[in-house]
Structure 1
Amino acid sequence: MRTTTTASQLIDDLVDANHVLVDRGVLDAYGHVSGRHPDDPEKFLIARNLAPGLVTAADIQVLDLDGGTDDERPSYLERFIHGEIYRARPDVHSVVHSHSASVIPFTISNRPLQAVWHMAGFLGEGVPVYEIREDAGMGSDLLVRTPELGAGLAASLGEGAVALMRGHGSVTVGDSIPHAVWRAVFAELNARALAVAVGLGEVTPLTAEEGIAAAKSNYGQIRRPWELWRAEARAGRRG
């Protein structure tokens, strides 16, 4: 559903995305969302180091894929997540990184996060988990602070839509900001549903074929929730 956009339109979408993701319980005081620059694929736009719920258009920075910027204000420590995923995945035009609470148990247990709901068919039969110890050893703070760690995470993501980060959170990608936000929201909701279902008994996940078919069907409907969530977020800011 990616459409040609201007940098100004992308900034508007980024501001809305930050507030939508807070409203939907995916981001809180932490986490971030970015969009690939529409005029230069070697750059991306992201807020300065700020709580997502406070982001305005004036807070958006332009970074290169190495995490560099001419903006003197502090950038997010984990900006390398975004740069390295954009470097590895030309098809990706938006990245969401979150610490959403419902996802965390699936990063630290042997229960895979898999699609159990047609709205989350993009998760497939199991989401990969990035083990930062393989790249940073046993004593890191689990933050993706360097391009090397960002590249490790991007490799774990592969060609998928979501990767988990052990003891940390997750990363979700899409071909537009609405697409990535939609996936991040339903990854969180699917995690909640799966955790409840596990407590009830045996779980019936989607087959790989069901996941592909559901994801294809849902793709054409992303604008509907995006427009609703955006309107609700803007109304909340006005209130």
Structure 2
Amino acid sequence: MSDIESLKNDLVIASRILANEEICDAFGHISVRHPVDPDRFLLARAVAPELVTSDDIIEFNLDGTAVCDDRKPFLERFIHGTLMAARPDVQSVVHSHSRGVIPFGITDTPIRPLLHSCGVLGHDVPVWDAGDVFGDTNLLISSNDMGADFAARLGNGRAALMRGHGSTVVGRSIQEAVYTAVYLDVNAQLQAEAMQLGKVKYLTDGEIDLIQPRLGDAKPGEGYDRTWQYWVRRAGLGPDAPVP
């Protein structure tokens, strides 16, 4: 299997995982940077994540234009291209509307990591509000200008919320991006519950700095790799259930 075929296969698996873990429903998407040309990325055509197959994957330039493909793309493909253009370290992007996260994007309460598994979120999870720059919109990132503004708000972080819309996370691999998307929602749900009990003791910046490399530099079968294997099987995509 070539590098590009392997990445397409992982995109399909990731889409199924995100659907099965209820991070994505009929909406949401994941991309990966092209393995040969860093100025391009791979993203499915506009289809529900659970239905994505390798044949649905389209190659895009970072400005969001498709490479020799006229199938209907996701309107918000600009999220992916502008983030990769702004951040050479970003290899994969997940955009979703997971429900646990939404309340933190429309209130003054920030998401802060409180569980060791959620240290991947980093020190700060900012909120981007389309209205601050673009006024009344449909809240979708439908242009490179909006995408670039969002990328500036994310900065060097791992995740950012989008007011009245959802969230986007980045990773150095598909596996890392999926992990971050899942645990962003886990943290949001746990934080909302913990705040009902009293004052929450969050992770310190020092703890977060120690947790991040422990996950990212883990040996095979640990860190992102372990959760990936677990979620693959939960999504029914084990060795006996090849990806379409």
Normalising by the residue count of structure 2, what TM-score does the alignment of the two structures yield?
0.92
Is residue 163 from structure 1 mapped to residue 164 from structure 2 by the alignment? no
Residue of 225, 229, 232 corresponding to 1:223: 225
Q: How does 1:66-215 map to 2 (within 5 A)?
A: 66-69=63-66, 70-137=68-135, 139-215=136-212
Deviation at 1:235, TM superposition (A): 3.8
Using the TM superposition, give the Cα deviation of residue 25 of structure 1 relative to its aligned residue in structure 2, in angstroms: 1.2
Query: How do 1:12-27 and structure 2 match up within 5 A?
Result: 12-27=9-24
Q: Secondary structure at the match of 2:10?
A: helix
8 A Cα contact 2:13 2:237, kept in partner: no
Asked if 1 retains the 8 angstrom alpha-carbon contact of 2:119 and 2:203, the reply is: yes
User: Alpha-carbon deviations, 1:117-171, whole Å to 9, x = none?
Assistant: 111112234311111112211x200000000000011001100000111111111
Aligned residue type for 2:22: G
Contact 2:122 2:158 in 1 (8 A): no
Tell me, what secondary structure is at the counterpart of 1:71? coil
Displacement of 1:228 after TM fit?
A: 1.7
> What is the letter of the counterpart of residue 103 of structure 2?
P
Instruction: Give, in whole Å, the separation in 2 of the partners of 1:170 and 1:185.
Output: 11
Which deviates more, 116-125 or 78-87? 116-125
Distance 2:237 2:208 in 1: 34
Q: Could you list the per-position Cα deviations for residues 26-58 of structure 1 after superposition, in whole angstroms to 9, with x for gaps in the alignment?
A: 111000000000010000000000000000011
The residue identity in structure 1 corresponding to 2:6 is: Q
How many Å separate the matches in 2 of 1:124 and 1:206? Answer: 10
* Equivalent of residue 35 in structure 1, options 32, 39, 54: 32
Count of aligned pairs between the two proteins: 234
Which one-letter code corresponds to 2:183 in the other structure?
F
Query: 1:227, CA displacement in angstroms?
Result: 1.4
- Aligned-partner residue type, residue 94 of structure 2: V
The residue identity in structure 1 corresponding to 2:79 is I
- Give the letter aligned to residue 218 of structure 1: L
Tell me the distance in 1 between the aligned counterparts of 2:88 and 2:81.
11
Shift of 1:238: 4.7
CA distance in 1 between partners of 2:55 and 2:175 (Å): 21
Identity of aligned residues (%): 45
Q: Which runs of 5+ in 2 are unaligned?
A: none
> Secondary structure in 1 aligned to 2:196?
helix
Please give the TM-score of this superposition, normalised by the length of structure 1.
0.94
User: Given that residues 115 and 205 in structure 1 are in contact (C-alpha distance below 8 angstroms), is that contact kept between their aligned partners in structure 2?
Assistant: yes
